[in-house]
Amino acid sequence: MHNILADKTLRTYVRKCILALSQHHRDKRRFHLSLQQCDVLLSDLAASQRDANRIMQQHFAFDMFVCRIGVVAVGHLSLIINSKNPQRLRLFPEDWCIDPQCPDPDIIVQSLLTQIANHALAALRLSGDGLDNPARVVCRALHELSWKLIILSCDRKVMAEYAKAHTPEEASKVWYKHFSKKTVLKRIKSIQNDLGFPITGRDDFWSGAHEYYSQEVHSSMWSVSTGSFGRLFGRDEYVLTLYGLASESSRSTVAFVLETLGFVVMFYPLMLVSLYGFSIPAENEQWQLYWSLRELCLDMWLSWKKQQEERAPPQMSLAPESC
């Protein structure tokens, strides 16, 4: 029996609703629904989710574990700069934002980090339930959050405009001015040139991901049709993804979440060091913990990359000290 209908209060309520509808429906002969049928339908839904969870864990246990470590690392970075944290260390000077009406830049960055961690976790959970298409929709928002983190952290003027946009009209105006695809790609390229190193290891990470996941958000015909069917593991067979299906399609989705978390955990603090001379204090325990999580993420990420190349169980290796 499905857990929801196992609740006595809810079960009694559903029974009364079905009884009332069966007695007062305008065409009683056409109303065919029983409490037992509800049990069966909801049990099928729960069974689909359980099966998807089980199969996804069989094929993506290591990938998802690395993602969760990344989520925790990003979340910890958000907590470190929390204004209520007694061991707080500022990422930006309070007067970094050029507009006096702009909020504390650390609060803006903390909010973005929080949303990146939450969106990554949401995409991971949806993928774990076999709901790959909805997970890709979340990935589109995750992608935008990641590039906003970069651009806002590198441009005081843009951060001020972003922070002061309170109405939907103002937010839309700022988005088209600073965060449209062409503007973002140009800005990211400029930032990478200033840094002297690429922000990610993939050249198509920004442009390709934007186009790919935007189709999911806008429900293109390609997205809707292909997302409604998934290929079973080890079989050249496509089946309906209704209620969730563990399939090969989730491989790229989980990989994208991992790549995005990898950028934030591994590159973002280094970006601040390179641009502003931000100093990472060795004596701060919370920063020590974050840096240890970062090294663990890097080690696991390298093992994951090796696994993708070899399609073999991951072999843990020590990350190079230069990283």
Per-residue pLDDT of the chain (323 residues; tens, 9 = 90+): 445 567 888 889 998 998 888 887 666 667 788 888 888 888 889 899 999 999 999 999 999 999 999 999 999 999 988 777 776 777 887 777 767 777 888 889 999 999 999 999 999 999 999 999 999 999 999 999 998 999 999 888 999 899 889 899 999 999 999 998 888 888 888 888 887 766 655 556 666 777 788 888 888 888 898 889 988 888 888 889 999 999 888 988 999 999 899 888 888 888 888 777 777 777 788 888 988 998 998 899 888 888 877 764 443 333 333 33
Check if the beta carbon of residue 20 is closer than 8 Å to that of residue 215.
no
Q: Where are the domains of the chain?
A: 60-310
Q: pTM of this prediction?
A: 0.86
Give backbone dihedrals phi and psi of 231, rounded to 5 degrees, phi first. Answer: -90, 130
The token pair that represents 24 in the structure block: 């007062």
208/203 Cα distance (integer angstroms): 9
Report which of 118, 96, 119, 120 is spatially closest to residue 108, judged by C-alpha positions.
96
Interhelix angle for 132-154 vs 181-195, to 10°? 60
3-state helix, strand, coil in the chain (%, to 5): 70, 0, 30
Alpha-helical (H) ranges within 81-234 are 105-128, 132-154, 156-164, 168-178, 181-195, 205-217, 221-227
Report which of 74, 110, 71 is spatially closest to residue 92, judged by C-alpha positions.
110
